[in-house]
Structure 1
Amino acid sequence: MSPPPARNRRADARRSRSAILDAAIRLLNSQPEVSVEAIATAAGVTRQTVYAHFPSRDQLLAAALDQVTEETVAAMDAVELDSGPAADALLRLLDASGRLAGRYSVLLQHTSSLPVSKEDDHERHAPVADRLRKVIQRGQANGEFDDRLAPGWLVAVTISLAHTAGEEVDARRMSETEAAEALRTSLFRVFGATPD
């Protein structure tokens, strides 16, 4: 007995959406102004199919950014943030997110200009912020990090400084290595930690 037609349509729709996002991320990361038509062609679907899933270019860009965020969170989870000293976990978190930011630098720079509400921006950063907050709280609880600053403040500072480091690299005022070292040094000073 074959699966019901509705189930086949849903599976086809999921495959199409996935192919569109994969193509969008790949193309937008090398050619930020690439057309929806080119994305459709690369995904093996029609332009109408792209618009059926993503009614506007901005929605497609936002969905691509969401997928990159999911990949970043998966990379963070893979580096076992609950093990070892909190300072080392913080460095692993920064390294994992930095690798993804470097891989998708053109896309991230382009999507940073999207009009986004504070709620949407908060929601997008929430999974990253949650993991960072846990590392900070662990470091404060075991005395590695100064506990006089609220974890929420330290999360906000970390995200802001990471964005600033990325902007410095994008503007070619710093190399990726210089920006990563400046970020690490700045955060350890703010956290009241001594880097190894």
Structure 2
Amino acid sequence: MTSSQARNRRADAQRSRAAIIDAAVRVIDGDPDAGVEAVAAAAGVTRQTVYAHFPGREHLVRAAVDRATEETAAAMDAADPGTGPAAEALVRLLDAAARAAARRPGLVRAAAALPTTPDAEYDRHRPVTDRIGRVVRRGRRSGEFDGRLPVDWQVAAVIALAHTAGTESAAGRLSAPAAADALRTSLLRLLAPDRPDRAG
């Protein structure tokens, strides 16, 4: 095989893999229990082709989730997190992430059903976590956020509050605007540094 043929074969494999992941995102989002056969049909390939790229359904779901995470990260970047007060930027980031997740509810459910470990979960969410961490660090440098607490704890607390707001809204216990307002208020109280006018 010539080097040109090898390059063409690699390019074909990359296109095939990308088409399978695209199909997996669509199909699994529509039906979180969808199997490899449904994804293969949507991608226009055989089951054997899918298995050549992904050893099993779990690997396929993880690849689809990774693609959705990339979409979320891109949405967060588009929220312009480097400008304006850090608190406002943080709210924009979380809103962008929530809207991106809301576009893929079936995929979110499928991801939640995957076996995992705390370390694996952390790595999977790293693109989102890193973006939140950058804004938190900016707020600490500017004095908007409390610089005494560990950054990782602040980031984890921000994410936990965002998940709580989403859960309360999805359950109907808070309207979407009320959940967003509660999240913003809670974030400001959590992250704000102590000042004399807050004492008492």
Q: What is the 5 A alignment of 1:148-187?
A: 148-187=148-187
Match of residue 83 from structure 2: 83
CA distance in 2, matches of 1:178, 1:52: 47
Residue in 2 that maps onto 1:129: 129
Counterpart Cα distance in 1 of 2:30 and 2:9? 32
Q: How far apart are 1:29 and its partner, in Å?
A: 1.1
Greater Rg over alpha carbons, structure = 2
Q: Which residue of 1 aligns with 2:110?
A: 110
Residue matched to 2:95:
95
- Give the stretch that moved more between structures: 93-102 or 162-171: 162-171
Match of 2:59 in 1: 59
The code of the aligned residue for 1:140 comes to R
- In structure 1, give the amino acid aligned to 2:155: V
- Distance in 1 (CA, whole Å) between partners of 2:185 and 2:63 is 33
Task: Report how far residue 163 of structure 1 moved.
Answer: 2.5
Match of 1:72 in 2: 72
Identical-pair percentage: 55
Structure 1: give runs of 5+ residues left out of the alignment.
Answer: none
What's 1:39 paired with?
Answer: 39
Between the aligned partners of 1:35 and 1:23, the Cα distance in structure 2 is 12
Write the distance in 1 (CA, Å) between the matches of 2:30 and 2:170: 14
The TM-score normalised by the length of structure 1 is 0.89
Superposed displacement of residue 154, structure 1: 0.8
Q: Which amino acid aligns with 2:115?
A: P
Secondary structure, aligned partner of 1:147: coil
Query: Are the counterparts in 1 of residues 81 and 89 from structure 2 also a CA contact under 8 Å?
Result: yes
Deviation, 1:101, is 0.9
Quote the residue 2:198 is aligned against.
none
Give the CA deviation at 1:68: 0.9
Moved more, 30-39 or 142-151: 142-151
**Deviation of the 1:32 alpha carbon:** 1.0
User: Structure 1 residues 61 and 127 mapped into 2: Cα distance closer, same or farther (>3 Å)?
Assistant: same
1:141 alignment counterpart: 141
- SS of the aligned residue for 1:4 comes to helix
Number of residue-to-residue matches in the alignment: 192
CA deviation string 1:17-41 (max 9, x = no partner): 1111111111111211122111111
Corresponding residue SS for 1:29: helix
Change (3 A) 1:97 1:50: same
How far apart, in 1, do the equivalents of 2:15 and 2:175 lie? Answer: 38
Shift of 1:182: 2.7
| Shift in CA distance, 190/77, structure 1 to aligned 2, threshold 3 Å | same
CA RMSD of aligned residues (A): 1.9
Shift of 1:172: 4.2
The alpha carbon displacement at 1:117 in A equals 2.2
